[in-house]
Amino acid sequence: MSTFLLVVLAVVVGLALVAVGGYYWLRRKVRRHIGDYRLLAPYLIAPSARIKLRAEPLSFDPDGGDADHASAMGELRALSTALDAQGFDKLGTFAADEDGRVMIAAQHRDSGVLAQVIYIAGAPPYLECLTLSAAGQVRIVSGDPEASALQMPSMTVELHPALTASGALKALGAAPGRAIDTPTMVMLAERIHAARMDSRLVSPPDMSDTMVHGKRRGGEPLAEAQLTRALEMNRESWTDAVRIALLDNGRRKLKLAPAIWERLENNLIVVHEAMSADEVIATLGDIELVEKLGEQLKRQNFTPVQIFDEINLRLDAGQRRHLVGNVRFPVRARLFARAGAMRAAGLATEERAA
């Protein structure tokens, strides 16, 4: 065999060995990543700031998944059957892509109590029931083990562990509700979820929140580095959820026509009181002036909101942001856009100077 062929053969064999080694290295890395996520998953708080419900035919097929799926389907069936037995008429089954929830909705034919059997993957199904008064006030009794009691002008949430259909009727029987059709039920469920999430998003999750969530979900004990990573991921999820909530609340407060809001929304930046200095600086883009001035103001102990205002004032007219509106919930915030984006949406910058 010639020297050339020997060299070619050696190269081919070497590449093959590298490829095989790379394959096993990658497989080990993927397995380790999957293993890490499996450990972290119970500790991850995924707040869906807003949900959109869609019709979703529900099958109680216990063979459609693993043992956890079969158990959940069994509990859903039992809760749904209990509603039937207590005189509830089914409105339909629904799903939300944002958090993967499945919901069976029904209303009691005599009292007007609205029942929702809710299942979110990773947690047992639970029952929530509510009444909607003629004045638009909502009273909720919840069997969600992760729910929080709330007292708001238009909505109250009471906690009832292991809530049953008969228990809900007893709890809400003194305050009969009005009849609700399916479109109204969908709108009501989405707005109730938004209001409850606004109350939960007032501050970012801390380590205690992360550990309590993991324990409640049956998570295995984590090392300090893993808990830190879980907290970082929770902070990222919270930041995304807060932005969604603020934009939604801003849309409703500003009362802009849908077409105008659609043109404007993607050009808005959100500056709120819970942002860090680096997060605020990042909203103004990758510009040398922004980075240099941002670092200088950080050293001078300016607050994140002050840093935004100081940098924004020094940008040229094309880059400067103008105030579109203020939002109070879930955190105090301001919405900004460039003058060009506001003109394209039919808004005058002069009336909304920062």
Q: What is the pLDDT of residues 146-181, one digit of tens each?
A: 899 999 989 999 999 999 999 999 999 766 678 889
Residues with Cβ within 8 Å of 123's Cβ and at least 6 positions away in sequence, in order, are: 145, 146, 217
What digits encode the pLDDT tens for the residues 297-348?
999 999 999 999 999 999 998 889 999 999 999 999 999 999 999 988 888 7
Say whether pLDDT at 53 is over 90.
yes
The owner of tokens 């949430």 is: 157
Residues with Cβ within 8 Å of 195's Cβ and at least 6 positions away in sequence, in order, are: 152, 154, 155
Read off the pTM: 0.79
Residue 62: predicted pLDDT: 60
What digits encode the pLDDT tens for the residues 104-154?
999 998 889 999 999 998 788 999 999 998 888 999 999 998 899 999 989
Residue 34: predicted pLDDT: 42
Residue 318: predicted pLDDT: 87
Say whether pLDDT at 188 is over 80.
yes
Asked whether 351 and 265 are in contact (CB, 8 A), the reply is no
What are the helix (H) ranges across the chain?
Answer: 3-40, 67-85, 165-172, 182-200, 207-216, 224-254, 258-265, 277-283, 288-299, 304-314, 339-344
What digits encode the pLDDT tens for the residues 20-39?
454 444 444 333 444 466 88
Q: Where are the domains of the chain?
A: 3-43, 53-197, 255-352
